[in-house]
Amino acid sequence: MFGISTLGWVHTLSSLPAIPLAAYMFARYGRILPRSVPGMAYLVFMLLGAGSVFLIARQPVSNIIAALTLVLLVAGYGVGHIGLPGRVAVYLETILLSVTAFLLMLPTLSEVLRRVPDGHPLVTDLHSPLLIGTQLGLLLALVIGVTAQVLYLRRRA
pLDDT in tens, 66-83: 999 999 999 999 999 998
Within a domain: residue 13? Answer: yes
pLDDT attached to residue 83: 85
* Domain coverage including residue 77: 6-156
Structural domains of the chain, count: 1
Within a domain: residue 1? Answer: no
Helix runs in the chain, H state only: 6-15, 18-29, 37-56, 60-78, 88-115, 129-156
Within a domain: residue 128? Answer: yes
**Is residue 1 over pLDDT 80?**
no
**Is residue 113 over pLDDT 80?**
yes
> Do 32 and 97 form a contact (C-beta atoms < 8 A)?
yes
Other CB atoms within 10 Å distance of the CB of residue 54: 13
Long-range contacts of 28-34 (CB under 8 A, 24+ apart): 30/148, 30/149, 30/152, 31/94, 31/97, 31/98, 31/149, 31/153, 32/76, 32/94, 32/97, 32/98, 32/100, 32/101, 34/76, 34/77, 34/80, 34/93, 34/97
